[in-house]
Amino acid sequence: MTIAEKNGDEGFKMGDPYYCSECERTHVKGKIYKEHLKYAQEIIDEEDPESEENLVEKEDFEDEEGLEDEEDFKDEEDFKDEEEFEELEENEELEDEEFLEEKDSEKEDTKEKDLTMQECIERVKTLPGVGEATLVKLVEAGFSSLESIAFTPPSIIQEDSGLGEKTTAKIIQSAMKKLNIGFKSAKEVWNHRKNISRITSGSQELDNLLLGGIETGAVLEFFGEFRTGKTQIMHQLCVNVQLPKEKGGIEGAALYIDTEGTFRPERIIQMSEALDLDHKKVLKNIIYGRAYNSDHQILLVKEATNIIKEKNIKLIVVDSLIGHFRSEYIGRGTLADRQQRINQHLHDLLRLTDIYPDLSICVTNQVQAKPNVFYGNPIQATGGNIIAHGSTIRIYLRKGKGEQRVAKVVDAPHLPVAEAVFSITEDGISD
């Protein structure tokens, strides 16, 4: 039985308690990141005895009383969003009428990146049919921007927010109208592609293979056998995404969804120091979510929409994408069920890149040898065709000599079929 079933959990409803048997705590849906952030902070602080004052007693948030004590230890910045929620509830300030007139006249384009969370919510509030109660439902379910509403299938909005079918359809339609979504000219598509930014991998060769680095607005899948460097690349990207543009970064934060428990803050410290970065700042800009099972993993991705804007997240890592699904479905359900769940999960990720074009998503995938294949490459990514079709760029990794690794782009129509050799050293990924 999965945790979701144990919790009587068909759809994930924000605000409900969610018991997590592995970390032995009851999370509040919609707040898992905040709770895991504290948890991750503990790991980081253990590594870094200087910041003992930030150490959070685990007992403090094991029960409800502890949760009420949050004020005592929370870092203001980290919990900004909570204040925003509170503001939302009692917001008398929103001058909706004026806003409505002003915004209705102009068609808005997808320039979400210049808006704060509160501004995004205000835009949602201008949609016809969105009153105070509907707005709260939408925001709590993670639909706090016009983009997230316009790009999400109606069934998901309905299920997550509890809104009715007609209301949902109407809201989506108006969000699409406001964003001027419909057919695009090739010029618009080109403008979008021209604005793609890239994060350096740390290796010039690998960057060249990817025409300049890991691109935004896409999902990249790194697949390969064990110890081929998938996790190391993910760590390096979490550091590099924070670099200034002239050094190959995009000045953003990272969200790390760790399904295998292989995230190592000490490795981040090493990599940061090699780049002359303040490792405390770097660690602070990596939001960590440990996914203990596939339900939990799906939930963490769904909740990501709540924090992308406010934490300026430009990179989401899922390491690894399939592991939990693979082990959990061995004695349970059919392969078709599993594929369907993986497919939905992948589409949740792909949708995020539609909503946030300046976001890059990197996932890892184990490979298994297929002994019955006698020609071609006997190695194939687990998850089968669904992963292959859902991901936008796939990079196959294999071992070379010593610390060298070889990367090859597979199935990316706009990238050359070529290989790059890079190394994993003390300092991280390099040529």
232 binds Mg ion (CB under 5 A): no
* Structure token pair of residue 370: 């297929």
Among 110, 152, 231, 353, binds Mg ion (CB under 5 A): 231
Question: Binding mask 373-402 vs ligand GTP (x if CB under 6 A, - otherwise)?
Answer: ------------------------------
Rounded to a whole number of angstroms, the minimum distance from the CB of residue 97 to Mg ion is: 54
Question: Binding mask 229-268 vs ligand GTP (x if CB under 6 A, - otherwise)?
Answer: xxxx----------------------------------x-
Among 80, 184, 227, 332, binds ligand GTP (CB under 6 A): 227
Stretch that binds Mg ion, among 30-38, 126-134, 201-209, 222-230 (CB under 5 A): 222-230
**Which parts of 262-301 interact with ligand GTP (CB under 6 A)?**
267
One-character DSSP codes across 229-255: SHHHHHHHHHHHTTS-GGGT--S-EEE
Among 183, 226, 374, 375, binds ligand GTP (CB under 6 A): 226
229 makes contact, choosing from ligand GTP, Mg ion, none, with CB < 5 to 8 Å by partner type, with: ligand GTP
Q: Is the dihedral of CA 90, 93, 97, 101 positive or negative?
A: negative
5-43 CB burial, b ≥16 within 10 A, e <16: eebebeebbbeeebebeebebbbebbbbbbbbbbbbbeb
Give yes or no for a contact between 294 and 261, defined as CB atoms under 8 angstroms apart: no
Which helix (DSSP H) or strand (DSSP E) does residue 399 occupy? strand 393-399
SS3 label, residue 406 = strand
425 binds ligand GTP (CB under 6 A): yes
Residues 6+ apart with CB under 8 A from 301: 257, 316, 318, 345, 348, 349, 352
228 binds Mg ion (CB under 5 A): no
404 binds ligand GTP (CB under 6 A): no
Cα separations in angstroms, 212 against 173, 240, 249, 410, 428 = 37, 13, 11, 17, 18
Give 17's strand partners.
28
What is the DSSP-derived secondary structure letter of residue 322? S
145 binds ligand GTP (CB under 6 A): no
259 binds Mg ion (CB under 5 A): no
Rounded to a whole number of angstroms, the minimum distance from the CB of residue 260 to ligand GTP is: 6
Which residue in the shown chain puts its C-beta closest to Mg ion?
231
**Contacting positions for Mg ion (CB under 5 A):** 230-231
**Contacting positions for ligand GTP (CB under 6 A):** 224, 226-232, 267, 366, 403, 424-426
